[in-house]
Amino acid sequence: MSTLTATVETSPAAPARPAYRVTGRRVLASEWAKLWSLRSTWITLGLGLLFLVAFGLIAANHYTSGIGSPHRDRDFATATAVSLSLFGTNFAQLALGVLGVLVTAGEYSTGMIRSTLAAVPRRLPVLWSKAAVFGLVALVVGTFGAFVAFGFGSGIVSGTPAAMGLTHPGVVRSLLGAGLYLGLVGVIGTALGALLRSVAGGISVLVASLMLVPGLISLLPSSWQENIGPYLPSNAGESMFALTHDSTTLAPGAGLLVFLSWTVLALAGAAYRLVRRDV
């Protein structure tokens, strides 16, 4: 009786694939790398910083050159070193807001968003990470620019009625408020880019909400202006870093809450469309 023995051939074990997990830290790192890989990031951030500092210095020089002049601009009559140094905030917000739109809408225009969402299927972490990364960058750039502009501007207006130092009450709060405002503008730009999925559309809505709508409100009856004007995004944001306030403007804390509400509203709209609509 013969015994049959079966020889079992074993194939070499395939190398185990490393287990990759999508974590919040990795999504943040990915968005950080994508942000700084674009040349437009460096250019636009540089322009935002240049606008903030340069226009602040121009305003300070214009103020000192007009002292004693009979044709002095009335807008400079009650100017302070803070208001003069932060004169370029309105120009810097455009640069940072536009870059925020490009951070998200740019991926839709190139089609890269498909790869991004394939790597992060849950989608919302992508939006939160983009907003957090660029918001932090805009905050740092805006705060740095505000302090640099004040440092040079206060030296230019030294010895004039507008002269102030960092120890003056409210100065540090105003400079930090300007940086925070610019950071939130960057977040709003990011949200608009994700909501509209169009670079042109996002920039148009951003410019309209921050610059055109306040001008149109001035055409309304005065009672409407007083009730609506302070709660517009730009006016609420301006109250965050204004050194003085009156009955027609919000207090810094109230302005921050209103502007945060606008920011949350923009992010909520972007999150809803990101989850409910295909890319």
- CA within 13 Å, CB half, 277: 12
How far is residue 180's CA from residue 61's CA, in Å, rounded to a whole number?
26
Residue pLDDT, tens place only, 255-268:
999 999 999 999 99
Would you place residue 6 in the very low, low, confident or very high pLDDT band (cuts 50, 70, 90)? Answer: very low
Which residue is listed with tokens 């807001």?
Answer: 97
Residue 96 has pLDDT above 60, yes or no: yes
Question: Which residue type sits at 77?
Answer: A
The model carries a pTM of 0.89
The pLDDT mean for the chain works out to 87
Please determine, for residue 11, whether its predicted confidence score (pLDDT) is greater than 80.
Answer: no
Alpha-carbon torsion angle 31, 105, 94, 239, nearest 10: -80
**CA distances for 261 relative to 1, 231, 268, angstroms:** 89, 10, 10
pLDDT in tens, 146-195: 999 999 999 998 888 888 889 999 999 999 999 999 999 999 999 999 99
Phi, psi dihedrals of residue 123, rounded to the nearest 5°: 75, -55
Portion of the chain with pLDDT greater than 90, in percent: 60
CB 173 within 8 A of CB 243: no
CA separation for the pair 221, 262 (Å, rounded): 24
| pLDDT given at position 70 | 60
- What is the 3 state secondary structure string of 95-158? HHHHHHHHHHHHHHHHCHHHHHHHHCCCCHHHHHHHHHHHHHHHHHHHHHHHHHHHHHHHHHCC
* DSSP, residue by residue, 46-112: HHHHHHHHHHHHHHHHHHHHTTT-TT--GGGTT--HHHHHGGGHHHHHHHHHHHHHHHHHHHHHHTH
Residue positions counted in the chain:
279
Cα–Cα distance, 32 to 25 (Å, whole number): 10
Looking at residue 68, its pLDDT comes to 65
